Every structure is written in C-alpha cells, then in structure tokens.
Chain A
Amino acid sequence: MLNRSLAIARRVFAQLIRDHRFVAISMVVPVVVIYVFKVFFDAAATPLIKASIFVVPYGAFFVHFITYVLAAIVLVRERTANTLERMFIAGFRRSEIILGYVGAYSTLATLQSLVVLVGLQLLFELDYDLPQFLSLYLVMWLLAVISMALGVLVSNFARNEGQVFPFIPLIMLPTIFFSGIIIAVEKLPEWAQRLSFLTPLYYANEVIQQLIEGQTLADAAPDLGGLMGYGLAILLLANITLRERD
C-alpha cells in the first residue's frame, strides 16, 4: 500500500513542480494578501490592539482557503481527465490515492505555511521566540494538510471544476464568521457555536490564541487534539466518499 501511495505522491509532486503558475499562486498569493492585510491593519488598528491576536489566525485562514480551493480543483481535474478512473482500474485503491495526494501536497503546505508565517513575522514585526514560532508553524502546517483533505472531500461531490465553486462559499463563509477569528465563538448564538466545531479553523485558532498568550502546545493539547481529530475524520470521510464509479 505504501509503495503505491508513494508512487502517487511522486507523480503528483512531479506535476506540481512543473506547474510553475500553480506553485507561484500558492506561494505569492498568500504573501500579497498578507501585505494588503498589513496596509488595511495599519490604517484601521489602534496602537492598543495586539496585532498578533488577529494576524496569525488570519494568516492561517489564508493558508486554509488557498490550499482547500487548489486541492479541490486539482482532484476534480483528475476526474474529468478520466485519469482517476484509470488509476482505480490500474489497481490503485482509494486510501492510497488520498494518502498519495496528501503526501505530495504536504510538501507544498510545508513551504506555504513557512512563507506565510515568515511573511507575518517580518511585516508585523512579531517577536516570537523559536519554540513559539515552531509551535505556530506546526499548527499552520497541520491546518494546511487538513484543508487539503477537505478539498479532496469536497471534490468527491463534484464532477467538474464548475461544480467545485459552490462549495467554496459553503465551507468558507461559516469558517470566516463562526471560527472565532472575527468574533469570539462564545458571543455567537448557540446553533452557530455548534457550527463552529465543524470548521477546522476553530480548533487551529484556539491553539494559536493559547500559543500567542505564551502557553505551550502541551497546554493547548485538547484543542490540538481536536484539530488532529478533525483532520482524521475528514480523511476518513474523503476515503469513504471517493467514488470509483458513476
């Protein structure tokens, strides 16, 4: 099984590094968005507000959004090109395909999370020590990998690229409003609070806020566990719903 997953990961990675535009979009767009965010933040924020409380979760959101959309579209492309069916008929299995994809895109997520976090650190002059930086990086990386799995899950319900687009606001709007990055989850109505548990950014934001306050990953273990559990649940769902046949 691992050999076949590795074969898929190698193939996807070979395609990724040749798609310069895709890599550029994945890396440059978050930086541009962070810069725009900086301009906006400088104009709007009062000196009393601690920037890191907002900017790191927002950075995590950018990574989440971009990775989710790109992963969803790429897998649908496999379906429309009939290569997904050919993979199945050649003998690749569902779990191997998902694992292969997650493996290849994790490399991209590793770079993307690093670019975003370094960009935030430089632009907003955040003063994190190394353990704090690495902890934040781990959370952002984990979120990126989960976002990719979420993209794979969503792509299972679309037959072409066009059908992916309605899923973007469907997932992203609750994420923006209910994950706690704009308004504290406790202030939301009860039904919306329940909805927040369905967004990965909720768990990531909870961990990020604790890390920013100076706590460690061990202190944030329950929420970190929630994020990992969410990721596992999404991977499982993606595996169940990946359709081989019409």
Chain B
Amino acid sequence: METPAIKIENVTKRFGKIQAVSELSLQVQPGQIYGLLGANGAGKTTLLRLISGATRPNSGQLAVLGLHPMRQRHTLRTRFGYMPQTPALYEDLTPIENITFFGRAQPQPDLKRRVAEVLDFVGLTERARQPVHGFSGGMKQRVSLACALVHRPPLLLLDEPSAGVDPKLRAAFWQHFRDLAAGGTTILLSTHQMDEVLHCDRVAVLRAGEILAEDTPQNLLWRGQARLKVWQGGQLHTHTLSDVPAGLPPALQAYGLAPDVSRIELETDTLETIILNLIDEKSRHA
C-alpha cells in the first residue's frame, strides 16, 4: 500500500480550555480529494493549521508527505500550497503583485508565466493590475487560491476554497481540483457546504474536534434511510427502509404485481439529512 500523503494519529489540540481537535486520526492517500465537512467550530481550520505546521498539537503524531510538520517544516512548506479561510492578502497590492510575492517564496523557473496561468485559471486576468481592496469577497478568495497554486505543489490545503464564489466559478474550481488530483496532486479541503463533499473521494464529518463519520460520499449516502410509498386501491402504504438496495425487493414483493397498485415512489435521505441525523445521534450519546 502507498504511503499516505497525510497521516494523523490521535492528534489533540487545545486552546486554553477549548478542545479544538480531540484524539483525531485520519489518512489521506496521494492523489485523493479529501473533504473535511463540519459546522463552524468543528475543528476543520485547526486541523489544516496543524497539518501546515502553523500550530503545534498537544499530543499525537502527524506525518505530511512523509515529513514532520514541525521539525521538517521548512522542507515541507516547499511542497504544499495553503489557502487560509480569510484571504490573507495585501489589499493595497494587485493580484499580480500578491501572487508573484507568494510565488517568490519558492524557487520558480518561469514565475511570470505561471502567475499569468493561475490568474487566467481564477478568471482575474482582466483585473490583474487593480488593487485587491476594491474586490468582492469571492474575488479575493480567487486571488488567495491563485497564491496557493502558484508553485505547483503536490499537496494543497484549502480552507473553504469556494466560500463566496459564484456557482459557475465553483464548478470550474472543482473541475480544476479534479484535474490536479488526476495529475497526482493531493487535495485536503474544508467546507461546510454539504453538496460540495459529493465531489470528494473521501469525506470526514467533524463535530467538536471529533470525526463523526469517515467514508466515501457514496457510502455516506447509503447510511441514510429511504421511504417506499405505494398507493394501492386508493390507500397510501409507507415503508421505511434502512438498507436501500437490499431492503427494496422484499418490500416490493408484498405487493407482487397487484393491478390496483397505481403509483410507487422511493424517497431517499439527502446527504444533509444523513449528516444532521449523525450529528443528532452522536449528541444524544454524548
């Protein structure tokens, strides 16, 4: 089996009395798009900062691209791109100047051309020479993403990359992320938008610094329930199925090919419902 791009074992991070990350373990494989899903305060940003070496864990082990995020941070930082939650840009400078500046942190053979490429990708070529302070929140996010991409890193850590980005550009972002992943780039991103995790290869659902569930989006969807509605002889019969593919045939067998069945509907839980149910369930057990 390949060495994981990110390996986290029993990591805990406290800020005073607040436990931001609690005994958390996960692995991200090379070339994977891995989503961290959770509400504000779930621990997503802290986890990304731990991986980037921006903050030190209280306990546990981390290995990122085979390196220790603290002890080998200078080497590690040449190999990942980081996009923080707030744009963290020099607002009196233009996108070109911001991207060029962050690009100069690492040796680049043709920085000028690369800056033009990433500017084109985030759709800001026409506004490349205007100061960032006049930009909307979404445009600043795009400049910030370009700064993370400029040195072609094999690992991308993106903290809510599509927040404030319009749907068309968001779709373009995801297409680009998929292209990068296909080329071997590992992407770990956080989001609080349920629909976005469907684009990921794997997802960890976080709550209060703990992982509630960790799986592929498809498998997470299977965790939901389905409601089979059958209208027979003018009456509605509802069956709740907890295992949709396996439970469906026996539920339908009861009706056979009865001629008075006028309508059949299968209503499945959305990912949002499944995750909210997961959160409720864990809260009840806590």
A interface list, Cβ under 8 A from B: 3-4, 7-8, 10-11, 14-15, 18-19, 81-83, 85-93, 244-246
Known A-B contacts A3-B104, A4-B105, A244-B54; A91 and B88 likewise in contact (beta carbons under 8 Å) = no
Most buried by A among B53, B93, B101: B101
Instruction: Write out the residue numbers on chain A whose beta carbons fall within 8 Å of the beta carbon of B101.
Output: 7-8, 10-11
Contact call B93/A93, Cβ cutoff below 8 A = no
Q: Provide the residues of chain A in CB contact with B84, threshold 8 Å.
A: 82, 85-86
Q: B82 in the interface, Cβ–Cβ < 8 Å?
A: yes
Q: Is residue B77 contacting chain A, with contact meaning CB distance below 8 A?
A: yes
Chain B positions within 8 Å of A, measured between CB atoms, are 15, 52-56, 74, 77-78, 82, 84, 86, 88-93, 97, 101-102, 104-107, 131, 147
CA distance A244 to B55 in the complex (A): 9
Query: CA of A92 to CA of B102 in the docked complex: distance in angstroms?
Result: 9
Q: Is the CB of B106 within 8 A of A88?
A: no
B82 touches which of A14, A83, A89, A92 (Cβ 8 Å): A89
Nearest Cβ in chain B — how far from A215, in angstroms? Answer: 45
B97 near A91 with CB under 8 A, answer no
Least Cβ distance of A9 to chain B in Å? Answer: 11
Most buried by A among B52, B90, B105: B105
Q: Which of B55, B104, B147 is close to A4, meaning CB atoms less than 8 Å apart? A: B104
Dominant SS among interface residues on chain A: helix
Q: Which residue of B lies closest to A11 (CB)?
A: B101
Q: List 15 A-B contacts (CB under 8 A).
A: A3-B107, A4-B104, A7-B105, A10-B101, A11-B93, A86-B82, A86-B102, A87-B105, A89-B52, A89-B53, A89-B77, A89-B82, A90-B82, A91-B105, A246-B55
Question: Which chain B residue has the least Cβ–Cβ distance from A87?
Answer: B105
A90 near B105 (CB under 8 angstroms)?
A: yes
The 8 Å CB contact of A81, one of B55, B56, B88, is: B88
CB distance from A51 to the nearest CB of B (A): 41
**A82 and B86 form a contact (CB under 8 A):** yes
- Given known contacts A4-B105, A87-B105, what 20 new A-B pairs fall within 8 Å (CB)? A3-B104, A4-B104, A7-B101, A11-B93, A11-B101, A14-B93, A14-B97, A19-B92, A83-B89, A85-B54, A85-B88, A86-B147, A89-B53, A90-B77, A90-B82, A90-B102, A90-B106, A91-B77, A245-B56, A246-B55
